[in-house]
Structure 1
């Protein structure tokens, strides 16, 4: 079960293609200028069962993927890992090109420092946008990220080398 701030059933701004976006509730980064400050509280939002999300995904055969946003979904790494596993089991057999994307204020290098907590989820993510939002580096000209310090990582390749590999769009 996840604690979320909300869901957008169809988005073209939170990753490639048409995506269902889940906004995690809770974030300790509290980046100045954050686009979603209402998601910072760990007590806000509401709880939702994984199966409810799977049903939403399966009801829309036009979806190209799901995006975990926030807040920061990595503050609920185990719960999002369980959801990702369920997506792989119940969605990708019907939609083999369905992707999982996630945003986090942590850098990949920082996540490696606590690999037992984060690596299971990262293995289920295809694309990770990492790094905190930095208001002085904000730009509306960046695809799928808010500030130029953030990276869009190909998680399959990044996990092979344990070094950041940029995703090619």
Structure 2
């Protein structure tokens, strides 16, 4: 089960192309200037099963998937299960937003299990002093777009390079 605030279909702000974004409840980063502070409450929203979420995801064969919040890394088991089902049943890519850094996630076995299912991770807390509205798919300069499979293979962060022709990822 995942504590979900909302699921937004056909959004274009949480990664390239059309996406189905699952916004979860719960975050302890408390970033000043957060654009979604209502997501901090771990009791917000409602519990949804993997199968219920998959019905929404599979209803749009053209939209990829984004996990956001809150912070999905506070519900790593539920999101890892969902990601495995997405992998098994679709060819969709999976992006995830987190206030944790890639390096910190690598040290936590529960969070790493989710990390291993992702295509792109947008990591790091939002830092108001580093806000930059010209960045694609992130709010502050400290946040990174990370190519997760390449990073896991190399054992260090490999940044994902976005270009309008790379919308498949």
What's the TM-score bracket when you normalise by the shorter of the two chains?
over 0.9
Pairwise CA distance, 1:133: 0.3
Asked if residue 68 in structure 1 is aligned to residue 74 in structure 2, the reply is no
Pairwise CA distance, 1:2: 0.4
1:99 and 1:146 map into 2 onto residues whose CA distance is: 21
Structure 1: gaps (5+ residues): 93-97
- Determine the structure 2 residue equivalent to 1:91: 90
2:43 and 2:49 map into 1 onto residues whose CA distance is: 17
- Which of 141, 146, 150 in structure 1 is aligned with 2:139? 146
Structure 1 counterpart SS, 2:32: coil
Structure 2: gaps (5+ residues): 163-169
Pairwise CA RMSD of aligned residues?
A: 0.9
- Determine the structure 2 residue equivalent to 1:164: 157
Asked if residue 77 in structure 1 is aligned to residue 76 in structure 2, the reply is yes
Asked if residue 120 in structure 1 is aligned to residue 113 in structure 2, the reply is yes
1:19 and 1:165 map into 2 onto residues whose CA distance is: 23
TM-score, scaled relative to structure 1: 0.93
Deviations 1:117-140 (A, max 9, x none): 122111110000000000111121
Number of residues of Structure 1 aligned to a counterpart in Structure 2:
162
1:27 and 1:50 map into 2 onto residues whose CA distance is: 20
Which consecutive aligned stretches of 4+ in structure 1 deviate over 6 angstroms post-superposition?
A: none
- Determine the structure 2 residue equivalent to 1:30: 30
TM-score, scaled relative to structure 2: 0.93
2:11 and 2:145 map into 1 onto residues whose CA distance is: 18
